[in-house]
Structure 1
Amino acid sequence: MERSLLQRIEVFLKESSMPPSVFGRAAVHDPRLVSDLRGGREPGLDVICRTEHFMNKWRADRHAGRVVPQGDRRSRAFRRTGKEARV
């Protein structure tokens, strides 16, 4: 059974330790995206594609070691790792 976009986002938020507002702003420039989806908003195809692309890119960057989860930080949900962090 296909999971809804909201279910996939919820899994991503737990995986990345990213606050919902930071996710919405980074993925589709809408900090209320997750709360609106939780409230019953039906996303359009463009929103679905942009959120999926953001989550896939973040996971690929994490797998490659370019980003790491930062916990519940409101200003930045992740930071880019530098050469000094790759030990």
Structure 2
Amino acid sequence: MSNLLTDIKAFCSTHHMSESQFGVMTLNDKNLVSQLKGEGGKRPRRLWPETEAKIRREMATYRPAERAA
């Protein structure tokens, strides 16, 4: 799990994206990353291998929209 969190952090930094934006983009869940971290004294969220694969696929195929000039 920690490798995934490291990869998510790097992805968000590279693409100037907040963690909540990332969660919405990948699983339509703004709390995804904070739950994976176990923030707020809660137990970290369980992540099924299929869900991790979907998140990684979204990161691998992400193409930022061109900004209007």
- On whether the aligned pair clears a TM of 0.5, the verdict is yes
Q: Point out the structure with max Rg over C-alpha.
A: 1
Shorter chain as denominator, the TM-score bin is 0.7 to 0.9
More strand per residue: 1
Q: SS of the residue aligned with 1:41?
A: coil
Residues in 2 aligned to 1:28 and 1:46: alpha-carbon distance in whole angstroms: 12
Normalising by structure 2, we get a TM-score of 0.76
Normalising by structure 1, we get a TM-score of 0.62
Q: SS of the residue aligned with 1:4?
A: helix
Cα RMSD of the aligned pairs, angstroms, is 1.9
Number of aligned residues? 63
Residues in 2 aligned to 1:55 and 1:43: alpha-carbon distance in whole angstroms: 16
Give the gaps of 5 or more residues in structure 1: 62-66, 68-79
Percent of residue pairs bearing the same amino acid type:
27
Give the gaps of 5 or more residues in structure 2: 39-43
Residues in 2 aligned to 1:35 and 1:27: alpha-carbon distance in whole angstroms: 14
